[in-house]
Amino acid sequence: MAERIAVEAGLDNIKEHLSRHGYEVVGFEDGLHDAEAVVISGGDRDFLGFTEPHTGAPVITARGRSPEDILHDIRQRL
């Protein structure tokens, strides 16, 4: 089964890149709490009302980073 990654709306290039590399990509409304990693656009890491220890999943900020950078982070953290 593919690892599930929740990606914030608007990060379509990252969603497509992760999907091409075998990850199950979901939006926040479709399974944020079941995700093994969370990708956000940037800004406040606590904008969802929680941080990494609460979800148990690493939160990765996409601001200023390429889809390949995000993929590299996910592979290292999972």
Q: Where are the beta strands (DSSP E) in 1-78?
A: 4-7, 24-26, 37-40, 59-61
Structure confidence at residue 42 (pLDDT): 83
C-alpha–C-alpha distance, residues 69 and 30, integer Å: 24
Structural domains of the chain sorted by starting position, each given as residue range(s) with its CATH number in brackets: 4-77 (3.40.50)
**Residue 6: helix, strand or coil by DSSP?**
strand
In this prediction the pTM is: 0.84
The pLDDT score that the predictor gives to residue 51 is: 47
**pLDDT for residue 48:** 52
Interval 23-74: pLDDT, tens: 999 998 777 788 999 999 886 555 554 444 356 789 899 999 999 999 999 9
Predicted confidence at residue 55, as pLDDT, reads: 63
Predicted local confidence at residue 32, as pLDDT? 78
Sign (positive/negative) of CA torsion 64, 43, 59, 34? negative
Taking CA atoms, 50 is separated from 12, 13, 60, in Å, by 23, 25, 14
Q: What is the DSSP letter of 45?
A: T
